[in-house]
Amino acid sequence: MMNKKNIKLLKPSVFFILIFSIGVSCKKKGCMDPNASNYDPDAKKEAPCEYTDFDKSEMLTNICDNYIIPSYANFNTQTSLLKDKVTAFNNSPNTNSFVELKNQWQETLLAWQEVSFIDFGPAEYILLKNQVNLYPIDTALISTNINSGGNYNLESATNYDAKGLQALDYLLHQPLLNDQQHVDYFTNSSNAASYLNDITNDLTVNSQYIVNEWHSYQTNFKNGEETNAQGSPVSNLVNGLCSYYETYIRKGKIGLPLGVFNGFSQQEMPELVECYFQQQSLPSAIRAMESLKKYISGISYSTSQDGLGLDDYIAFTGATQNGSSLSVVINNQIDLIIDNLQQLNDPLSSEIMSNKPAVNECYSKMQQLVPYMKVDMTSALGVLITYQDNDGD
Amino acid sequence: MMFLSTIRFISNGWVKDLYVLPKYYFTYYGFDWVKPFSENSMYLMFGLLLICSIFIALGLFYRLSASIFFIVFTYIELIDKTNYLNHYYFISLISFVLIFLPANKYFSLDTYFKFTKRQYKIPAWNINIIKLQLGIVYFFAGIAKLNYHWLFEAQPLSNWLKHQTDLPLIGGLMHYNETAFVFSWGGALFDLLIPFVLLSKKTRIYGYMFVIIFHGLTSAMFPIGVFPFVMIISTLIFFSDQFHEKIIRFLKTIFRTKHRNKNVKETKEKFTLNKFSYFMLIAFISIQLLLPFRYLLYKGNLFWTEQGFRFSWRVMLIEKVGYAQFYVHEPKSGRKKLINTNDFLTGQQEKMMATQPDMILQFAHHLRDHYSDTTIIEKNGEKIYLNKPKVTAEVYVGLFNKGSKLFIDPNVNLSEIKRGYHSKSWILEYEK
């Protein structure tokens, strides 16, 4: 009985072998692969394809050595300089040293924007983004801490919204106070002066921690090229980038204050902008987007030399969006966002109220980048935004 | 085998992640009554699976253990379709079949304790049905591969393989498109032919070598869990009874059981099924033969709409990622609120839902029910009463790296669309 069945069922298999051989012999000859280095769209005769192999390890090494390490080093330098300026100001409080302190705060904030989206590994262990630049800050808690006379633990998560660069934004740009009045405020309150010193010191501790950790972390990062599975460097890089962009740039910097997430009323929430007290939110947003573009493109932090980056990796996979190369589409979208941001005016908190259509337009450009990165980029790179294995269906 | 798998499931903390933490479960249409119990009861369920799998393997209280295993396992799988995997479906089917097989009649503790009479021969259909079941899995997985994307674009393999250039030995070949075609055609042929190769005595051993190579390779390349190992072990059933005798003899010498081997002679025995069993058997098999083809009843691209996709052995066929935003509308003023999906779903649920229309609809209904007949107090103090809110979704899906695009009609009111197996016309067309 079994033999009969066998013969019967062998027939279709012979049939499939036939189909297979026909299929192979009919396959169009010529190098039809747009990813090949010798790709010729008009080729009609057979020409063997040549490929430049994509070196993932080289990409990781480039991103690590030429962007991550130097940008973190710079952030660490800036926080140290900030600490120096705070010390200088506390030693001789006057409007000159105060303006110097404010300028260095601005530099440090911009240096932060350049590393903010490296949101994995050491930065993730200590929730760096929450410790360095959480907003809106809690001004009441800051006052309570200052008045407590040193009785606070800045490492505690409950104090994350009373410290960091945004707490400094408040302390250095208190409403209705001019420079001289700020100087007076800190000279009259030794508690406030030491709080200024403590939260600046906290920044240096965290930035130094990151630099130290990357010293050892980079070995695994550069050599983790075998897979893009969860926990691999490529997966960490892409997941950190996507989630930071989606939540902290698109939503945090523009969407939330614009009211997109504010229920049915969609009422603007201008007090949610970054640097609400300085009233200069756009430089940070623009710097974040410019740096994000460099990071994706594998451009060197210090020399601006273009090395292997995620954009080259995406190009290697041949992923397209609406007929164009995905890496080009993403790049253009980032340019468009920067362009839109540059057309807005600070203070952003007023612009949201007075020029809402322009901010809406900018937000919708930022929104469009989310599926490009979260859907198209992740699937091109074979990166899952997931925690559990699946069989692909 | 199932024991290890269950252990793996529990130790990875998946019980909690999948069956305790979610606030909402994507039930199967018609099985909406299947709900998870409390956290402790869920662990109890998995404990029960462990015990049953040991008892089945030992052949102790066999029929009872197999029944409980089937019921508990299927129950767990029915809770949430987020977790649907083809091999879980396979395990459910096999455990169902096992209930009716006298697998405890020869080398088992049931016979040792004389709960059941030892029997040296079982009807051939007992083994053949498992062979058939495995054959169906492979053959349909093969048929599913006979599509344009798989055969002529080598998708999704050509994309996946490009990230495998660091594999030992063959890694260097991975960036050639030809390699993807060889793997695609090879995979399809393997799936289609392997059941027949394993059936024939002459080719069986070579076939099994291919099974090991094929599943070993896929296991090394893709994060697909236990599936390859399930198949490698399961396909041993195709080997002759002499082969299994040898294994049993080997096991016996290890455990030094006192049982003496009696020579089993192959004699053909007449066996008749009663009509009812016969009917059940036919029904069981024909349902499985027909289910994978139900997609023909739906319009549109199967991979895009996924209507009739599950329970059809479509394994590793598509590269599909989605991103969904839901809006609840206030009909009176036409204002809408963007829903934070994280408030309702886990990351895994959100990810699986974003590409599957039936789940999108289910979640929209959940939102409708959640917001129906409620008063919402806005941050600015405004009170908004929702009677039966309109729910819409803006979903972007990318298939085979051709670029993300709108997946469903962003204007359609999902709260008024009925669930079910009818064609979903609100899915936008997939244009190549």
Superfamily of domain covering A54-225: M75 peptidase, HXXE motif (1.20.1420.20)
**B329 and B287 together in one domain:** no
Would the pLDDT of B249 be above 90? Answer: no
With beta carbons under 8 A apart, name residues in chain A contacting B318.
Answer: 392-393
**B145 and B239 together in one domain:** yes
Greatest extent of chain B over all pairs of C-alpha atoms, in Å: 86
Would the pLDDT of B41 be above 50? Answer: yes
d(CA B291, CA B312): 6
Specify the higher pLDDT residue, B341 or A66. Answer: A66
- The pLDDT value recorded for residue B245 is 63
pLDDT digits (tens, 9 = 90+) for A278-316: 999 999 999 999 999 999 999 999 988 888 899 888 888
- Average of per-residue pLDDT across B136-155: 73
**B183 and B325 together in one domain:** no
With beta carbons under 8 A apart, name residues in chain B contacting A233.
Answer: none
- The pLDDT value recorded for residue B269 is 43
Return the domain boundaries, chain A.
54-225, 227-393
- The pLDDT value recorded for residue B118 is 57
Specify the higher pLDDT residue, A244 or B217. Answer: A244
Question: Which has the closest alpha carbon to A342: A370, A367, A361, A368?
Answer: A361
Taking the CA atoms of chain A, what radius of gyration do you get in angstroms?
27
Residue B308 forms part of a structural domain: no
B383: DSSP letter: E
Specify the higher pLDDT residue, B284 or A93. Answer: A93
d(CA A222, CA A60): 5
Compute φ and ψ for A124, nearest 5 degrees.
-75, -35
Phi-psi region of B59 (alpha: psi -120 to 50; beta: other; left: phi over 0): left
Residue B423 forms part of a structural domain: no
Residue B68 forms part of a structural domain: yes
Number of structural domains chain B divides into:
2
Would the pLDDT of A388 be above 50? Answer: no
In a mutational test of the B interface, the residue from A10, A235, A264, A377 whose CB has the highest number of chain B CBs within 10 Å is: A264
Mean pLDDT is highest, among A235-239, B73-77, B269-273, for A235-239
Q: How many CB atoms lie within 10 A of CB A124?
A: 14
- Give the residue on A whose Cα is nearest the Cα of B201: A3
A299: DSSP letter: B
- Give the residue on A whose Cα is nearest the Cα of B173: A53
CB contact under 8 A, A385 and B403: no
CB contact under 8 A, A263 and B376: yes
Would the pLDDT of B135 be above 90? Answer: no
B15: DSSP letter: H
Q: What are all long-range contacts of A30-37, with beta carbons under 8 Å and residues at least 24 apart?
A: A33/A318, A33/B177, A34/A318, A35/A315, A35/A316, A35/A317, A35/A318, A35/B177
Q: Is B314 helix (H, G, I), strand (E, B) or coil?
A: coil
Specify the higher pLDDT residue, B170 or A381. Answer: A381
Q: How confident is the model at residue A79 (pLDDT cuts 50, 70, 90)?
A: very high
**B120 and B68 together in one domain:** yes
Q: How confident is the model at residue A32 (pLDDT cuts 50, 70, 90)?
A: low
Tokens of B134: 């495995």
Greatest extent of chain A over all pairs of C-alpha atoms, in Å: 102
CB contact under 8 A, B85 and A262: no
Residue B309 forms part of a structural domain: no
Burial category of B159 from C-beta neighbours within 10 Å (exposed 0-12, middle 13-18, buried 19 and up): buried
Q: Please tell me the distance in Å from A314's CA to the nearest CA on chain B.
A: 10
- Average of per-residue pLDDT across A62-71: 94
Q: Please tell me the distance in Å from A161's CA to the nearest CA on chain B.
A: 21
Contact A58, A220 (CB under 8 A): no
Would the pLDDT of A364 be above 80? Answer: yes
Q: Is B270 helix (H, G, I), strand (E, B) or coil?
A: coil
- The pLDDT value recorded for residue A187 is 94
CB contact under 8 A, B351 and A386: yes
A353-392 core/surface letters (b: 16 or more CB in 10 A; e: else): eeeeeebeebbebbbbbbbbbbbbbbbbbbbbbbebbbbb
For B262, the domain range is: 2-295
pLDDT digits (tens, 9 = 90+) for A327-337: 899 999 999 99
**B291 and B324 together in one domain:** no
**B343 and B279 together in one domain:** no
Q: Which residues pair with B113 in a beta bridge?
A: none
Tokens of B306: 């996924």
Q: How confident is the model at residue B15 (pLDDT cuts 50, 70, 90)?
A: low
- The pLDDT value recorded for residue B267 is 39
- Average of per-residue pLDDT across B270-295: 70
Would the pLDDT of B308 be above 80? Answer: no
Would the pLDDT of B33 be above 80? Answer: no
pLDDT digits (tens, 9 = 90+) for A85-105: 999 999 999 999 999 999 999
CA torsion sign, A196 to A197 to A198 to A204? positive
With beta carbons under 8 A apart, name residues in chain A contacting B405.
Answer: 322
With beta carbons under 8 A apart, name residues in chain A contacting B396.
Answer: 371, 375
d(CA A370, CA A386): 17
H helix or E strand, kind and range, residue B322: strand B320-330
For chain B, give the number of residues.
432
Nearest Cβ partner of B166 from A24, A56, A381? A56
Q: How confident is the model at residue A193 (pLDDT cuts 50, 70, 90)?
A: very high
**B139 and B229 together in one domain:** yes
Specify the higher pLDDT residue, A353 or B350. Answer: A353
Tokens of B344: 């309702």
What rounded mean pLDDT belongs to chain A? 85
pLDDT digits (tens, 9 = 90+) for B314-348: 666 667 788 888 888 887 787 888 888 877 777 77
Residue B236 forms part of a structural domain: yes
Would the pLDDT of A213 be above 80? Answer: yes
Strands A324-325 and A320-321: antiparallel
With beta carbons under 8 A apart, name residues in chain A contacting B319.
Answer: 379
Tokens of A389: 């294995």
Q: What are all long-range contacts of A236-239, with beta carbons under 8 Å and residues at least 24 apart?
A: A236/A120, A236/A121, A237/A63, A237/A120, A237/A310, A238/A310, A238/A377, A238/A378, A238/A381, A238/A383, A239/A120, A239/A383, A239/A385
Would the pLDDT of A9 be above 50? Answer: no
- Average of per-residue pLDDT across B149-163: 70
- The pLDDT value recorded for residue A183 is 96
The lowest-confidence range among A84-88, A254-258, B55-59, B115-119 is B115-119
Question: Which has the closest alpha carbon to A387: A277, A231, A221?
Answer: A231
Q: Please tell me the distance in Å from B114's CA to the nearest CA on chain A.
A: 34
d(CA B411, CA B329): 11
- A227-393 matches A54-225 in CATH topology: yes
- The pLDDT value recorded for residue A345 is 93
- The pLDDT value recorded for residue A197 is 95
Out of 2.30.29.30, 3.40.50.300, 1.10.3720.10, 1.20.1420.20, the CATH code matching A227-393 is: 1.20.1420.20
**B161 and B18 together in one domain:** yes
CA B313 to chain centre: 8
d(CA A236, CA A221): 10
Would the pLDDT of A4 be above 80? Answer: no
Tokens of A168: 């400094």
Contact B80, B22 (CB under 8 A): yes
Half-sphere exposure of B307 (CA within 13 A, CB side): 18
Question: Which has the closest alpha carbon to B89: B81, B99, B79, B77?
Answer: B77
